[in-house]
Structure 1
Amino acid sequence: MNRRTIMSIVGGLVALAVTGVGAYRLGTQAGAHGPAATSAGQSASSAGMDQPGRKVLYWHDPMVPGQKFDKPGKSPFMDMDLVPVYADQNGPAGGVEIAPGVQQNLGIRVVEVRKGSLTNSLSVVGNVAFNERDLVVLQARSSGYVEKLLVRAPLEPVRKGQALLQLFVPDWVAAQEEYLAIKRMPAGPDTAGLLDAALQRMRLAGMTDAQVRQVSVQSQTSPRITVTAPVAGVVTELAAREGMAVTMGTPLIRINGLETVWVNAEVPESAAAQVRPGMAVRATSPAFPGTEFSGKVEAVLPEVAASTRTLKARIALANPGGKLVPGMFATIRMTPAQSRETLLVPSEAVIQTGARTVVIVAAGEGRFSAVEIVAGAEADGQTEVIEGLGAGQKVVASGQFLIDSEASLRGSLQRLGAAAAKGSAPAGPTKAATHRATGKIEQIAGDMVTISHGPVPSLKWGAMTMGFAPPASGMPKDLKIGDTVQFEFQAADDGVFKLVSMSRIAGTGGGQ
């Protein structure tokens, strides 16, 4: 970043700070001549206008914009006046205004909220292993001796039909000699039966039909057999050695094919419901950058590893050229067949604060505001928006952190400006303190109780109507709208006041 760019960004931030202070002073000066001078008991509907021709929706503290008040006055959070929010205000409260030149210097990029299909893809890793279904075991079909070994060590690659070893089988000599002796006999009524019996004895000795035909055609004994590879692959086990004696059924060689391989993928327990046998997958390996291997899920093994909380998914991959070998790592990308249409924003536009999820909305004419959203799934650089935005709105995809920081700075400057005007430092209530008041229940909603209460000496509040979060144990069942109540409340960490206890004052009541 060169010197000119740095100076441009610094100049932009200074301009934003000056704009924030000016906007705050303009609002407080206008508010001083409006209904802020009216009595604390006057309602918002009667006060109505804070500036000529502009309707006030509510008042709030810019540092705690979530808490709304129906009357002007002192902020219960800071030593400053509440700021009005107007009906014709462009965009949500708490935004900032940035000149086009400053936007360019800050690198602000705006994208549109769009509808689209979000595919919940799943990426997992695993190890390549031999496909056990391509395993071939070669055994001795007769007792004999290993005369010659043509494969010397395990893991040697072999071709289909390649000679592996030679066996000398003494038992074959007697069966073959008997067959040839009967074949040389003069033809007679019993010759055909004897010949068939001799052929059967050669087969029972372990000779194949091809070997029997060879003896019949050549009319000479063949006590040796050459064992060949029935498939192409790798010798995974070599039990035979030259000169060793073998009996019928002795394992000689194990061969694994490499036309297909297995990948034992580790699937998180939370994502197990997304994986189904038969699901198509694509795989990549660090050993072959840019090469993809296709396959499908064969099975999800019914066992969870206690240490990693994962299940094993057995995936069969086509392996052209035998590139993948056991022990390699592979990344598997699974894509469910179904997708759904939803609102999407770039994932880079979403700011995760830990307590909430927000995006910066461009309201037009250089105004930007932070809007809290409910985010859903994320895939391919896109994030699903469940609540908080509509299609066609514009959000900031780059530079949003500078705007968010500037919005916070503006609130700080407003607070400091009000403190300087009053000649005192900002001060707020002690959140751990419990305050008491008496008032009338105006409205009961699911997450808010609106009460018109009298003065609160511990906070130096006058009479006002405001919302409170209900008690943690829930609203008392015997209270209703119109009841006069005595209540206790505390300030929560998010700036909203929370009821601790409530009780109806005897001899009062109301309702609707």
Structure 2
Amino acid sequence: MTVLSMSPPRLALAGAAVAVLAGAGGYGLAHLQKASAPAPVAAAGRPKPLYWYDPMIPLEHHQGPGKSSMNMDLIPKYADAAVGVSGVRIDPAAAQNLGVRIATVRRGDFAQSLDAAGVLDFNQRQVAVVQARAAGFVQRVYARAPGDIVPAGAPIADLLVPSWGGAQAEYLAVRRAGGPALEAAARQRLRLLGMPEGLIEAVARDGRARPVVTVSTPQGGAIQTLEVRQGMTVNTGQTLAQVAGLASVWLNAAVPEALAGQVRVGQSARAELAAFPGETFSGRVTAILPTTQADSRTLQVRVELANPGARLRPGMFATVHLASAGRPALFLPSEAVIRTGKRTLVMLAEDGGRFQPVEVQVGREDGGRTEILAGLEAGQNVVVSGQFLIDSEASLAGLRARPLATAQAAASVAPSAALYDGRGRVETLTSGAITLSHHAIPAIGWPAMTMTFKLGAPGLAKGLKIGDQVSFGFQQTPEGPVVRRLGPAAAQ
């Protein structure tokens, strides 16, 4: 085995090299660029350097080669790598070594899914209340208890109603002695006393009074309350029981306040429950409650689910997936986005191996994609891998990101967007927005759907109300579709 020896000067030089390699990422990237090209002193035909600098101290400029205040070798800064409108240049070989990947900004349908947790509850629109129609006494109660599931017409209790017995006897006497007119008047009196039509028919058919009446449930479902006991006295209108139907149930989902704008009434939904793995239940959003939970900052969204076989039981937990209708949008891979806390950037890849940090305004996110509302155009290329190292090099070089105001100003002087026509029905209406169930719009490939538009001017919706059929014209803007023309639809 051969042992290599080093002289003290060489050993010191090796130690300095190790210290350089342990430097910051921006310094390493600068040396990647430096190593990928011939040495600036030996390069023939290279322009004169603008200045010399140490990447560890980018603000310290020198007029020629030498050592920095940290005793590091200075690197020349040439005009072709200087800060300017064309951005910072990265040598292709260095970019390949860094694993830089490029993606294209695209425009297409952007449908976002929203997942939320929820709890099943009774459908409060299917709750029936069983009451006493007249004062009386409870003669018999049937074997019922809260929580029991009963069919429609299930008996609850037998009531003795003395006032009904006397009225029925008078009716039978009039029926035997009087004419049709008197009988009709007596029959009407029984109805006004609250007797069911079936009981009146039974009295007329049998010819005898029936003072005892059986109170039954008007619908099938689960008994929620039962307030009747044998021997008790009941008054007119007293509640005896309450029955909740099970044909459908409510799924009350908690949607984060920040995502409330993505939910609308009529939106389709899918629910998954741990009790039924691999099975989904379909429903739709029937209501968005007007208040927000202050402690959790969530909005309660009510989804109605069909419940065949009463398999879904109130109190179960479920995960609900709300799918929003797709609409044309500009988007790019989410990994291309750099969030600094104060603003959002992407690294724009330009011709000649140059890169420019650009400020953007982002919108929705879904499936690894992020919507771009302003700052970029379709067809531009952005960095999706290695952009943080490039951003570090741009910072070391003092390159400033292109502000969002520049892109917005350019959009303001651009030709006005095309105006698309449509017809639809007004679903909701506010001072600044309108929700329309509109027909298909072939000009931009939109199917018939319900969506919300911003109003270009508050006075556009003057005189309109919910349910009106309207014709409208709108423009596509970075902030979404904006209605510019709105009025009642002409009869067809």
Greater alpha carbon shift after TM alignment, 261-270 vs 135-144: 261-270
Segments of 5+ residues of structure 2 without an aligned counterpart are 1-20, 397-404, 407-492
User: CA, structure 1 residues 359+257, in 2 after alignment: closer, same or farther (shift >3 Å)?
Assistant: same
Contact 2:136–2:234 (CA<8 Å) still a contact in 1?
yes
Render the CA deviation track for 1:10-62: whole Å, top value 9, x for unaligned. Answer: xxx99x999985752565732x25xxxxxxxxxxxxxxxxx546668977868
- Among candidates 298, 307, 313, match of residue 295 of structure 2: 307
- Among candidates 285, 290, 294, match of residue 296 of structure 1: 285
1:127 match: 119
User: CA, structure 1 residues 228+383, in 2 after alignment: closer, same or farther (shift >3 Å)?
Assistant: same
Q: Supply the distance in 1 between the matched residues of 2:307 and 2:58 (Cα, whole angstroms).
A: 59
2:89 match: 93
1:159 match: 151
For the pair 1:29 / 2:39, whether they are aligned, the reply is yes
For the pair 1:178 / 2:166, whether they are aligned, the reply is no
Q: How far has the Cα of 1:163 moved from its partner?
A: 2.9
Contact 2:36–2:93 (CA<8 Å) still a contact in 1?
no
Contact 1:346–1:381 (CA<8 Å) still a contact in 2?
yes
1:81 match: 75
Q: Supply the distance in 2 between the matched residues of 1:279 and 1:252 (Cα, whole angstroms).
A: 36
Render the CA deviation track for 1:348-379: whole Å, top value 9, x for unaligned. Answer: 454556577666788999x8979566361212
Contact 2:223–2:244 (CA<8 Å) still a contact in 1?
yes
- In structure 2, give the amino acid aligned to 1:167: L
Q: CA RMSD in A?
A: 4.9
Q: How far has the Cα of 1:282 moved from its partner?
A: 0.6
- Among candidates 124, 140, 146, match of residue 148 of structure 1: 140
- In structure 1, give the amino acid aligned to 2:362: G
User: CA, structure 1 residues 168+66, in 2 after alignment: closer, same or farther (shift >3 Å)?
Assistant: farther
Larger radius of gyration: 1
User: CA, structure 1 residues 75+389, in 2 after alignment: closer, same or farther (shift >3 Å)?
Assistant: farther
Q: Supply the distance in 2 between the matched residues of 1:252 and 1:61 (Cα, whole angstroms).
A: 90
After TM superposition, the structure 1 = structure 2 runs for residues 391-406 of structure 1, keeping only pairs within 5 Å, are: 391=379, 393=381, 395-396=383-384, 400=385
Q: Supply the distance in 2 between the matched residues of 1:60 and 1:119 (Cα, whole angstroms).
A: 51
Q: How far has the Cα of 1:313 moved from its partner?
A: 3.7
- In structure 1, give the amino acid aligned to 2:89: A
Contact 1:75–1:82 (CA<8 Å) still a contact in 2?
no
Q: How far has the Cα of 1:166 moved from its partner?
A: 2.6
Residue 362 of structure 2 aligns to a residue whose secondary structure is strand
Moved over 6 A (4+): 16-20, 55-60, 64-78, 358-365, 367-370, 405-408
Q: Supply the distance in 1 between the matched residues of 2:350 and 2:116 (Cα, whole angstroms).
A: 40
- Among candidates 362, 366, 375, match of residue 387 of structure 1: 375
1:212 match: 200
Q: How far has the Cα of 1:169 moved from its partner?
A: 2.6
1:221 match: 209
Q: Supply the distance in 2 between the matched residues of 1:354 and 1:393 (Cα, whole angstroms).
A: 23
Contact 1:266–1:311 (CA<8 Å) still a contact in 2?
yes
- Among candidates 270, 284, 290, match of residue 271 of structure 2: 284
Q: How far has the Cα of 1:209 moved from its partner?
A: 1.6
User: CA, structure 1 residues 137+356, in 2 after alignment: closer, same or farther (shift >3 Å)?
Assistant: closer
Q: TM-score, normalized by length of structure 2?
A: 0.58
Render the CA deviation track for 1:368-407: whole Å, top value 9, x for unaligned. Answer: 97956636121232113443686263744xxx46x85699
Q: Which has the higher contact order (CA 8 A, sep 6+)?
A: 1
Render the CA deviation track for 1:307-338: whole Å, top value 9, x for unaligned. Answer: 33344344444444434333333444444546
Greater alpha carbon shift after TM alignment, 114-123 vs 215-224: 114-123
Percent sequence identity over aligned pairs: 32
Q: How far has the Cα of 1:153 moved from its partner?
A: 1.3
After TM superposition, the structure 1 = structure 2 runs for residues 302-451 of structure 1, keeping only pairs within 5 Å, are: 303-337=291-325, 339-342=327-330, 344-350=331-337, 352=339, 374=360, 376-377=362-363, 378-385=365-372, 386-387=374-375, 391=379, 393=381, 395-396=383-384, 400=385
Contact 2:30–2:55 (CA<8 Å) still a contact in 1?
no
Q: Supply the distance in 2 between the matched residues of 1:77 and 1:93 (Cα, whole angstroms).
A: 26
Q: Supply the distance in 2 between the matched residues of 1:97 and 1:341 (Cα, whole angstroms).
A: 35
Contact 1:155–1:236 (CA<8 Å) still a contact in 2?
yes
User: CA, structure 1 residues 66+322, in 2 after alignment: closer, same or farther (shift >3 Å)?
Assistant: farther
Q: TM-score, normalized by length of structure 1?
A: 0.56
Q: Supply the distance in 1 between the matched residues of 2:348 and 2:57 (Cα, whole angstroms).
A: 16
Q: How far has the Cα of 1:136 moved from its partner?
A: 1.2
Residue 89 of structure 2 aligns to a residue whose secondary structure is coil
Contact 1:120–1:335 (CA<8 Å) still a contact in 2?
yes
Q: Supply the distance in 1 between the matched residues of 2:356 and 2:172 (Cα, whole angstroms).
A: 99
Q: How many residue pairs align between the two structures?
A: 368
2:131 match: 139
Q: Supply the distance in 1 between the matched residues of 2:366 and 2:57 (Cα, whole angstroms).
A: 32
Q: Supply the distance in 2 between the matched residues of 1:57 and 1:330 (Cα, whole angstroms).
A: 66
Q: Supply the distance in 2 between the matched residues of 1:338 and 1:66 (Cα, whole angstroms).
A: 47
Residue 300 of structure 1 aligns to a residue whose secondary structure is strand
Contact 2:136–2:235 (CA<8 Å) still a contact in 1?
yes
2:11 match: none
Render the CA deviation track for 1:200-251: whole Å, top value 9, x for unaligned. Answer: 3433443212211111112233233222322222211111123322122110
- Among candidates 235, 238, 254, match of residue 223 of structure 2: 235
Q: Supply the distance in 1 between the matched residues of 2:361 and 2:283 (Cα, whole angstroms).
A: 32
- In structure 2, give the amino acid aligned to 1:379: D
Contact 1:95–1:407 (CA<8 Å) still a contact in 2?
no
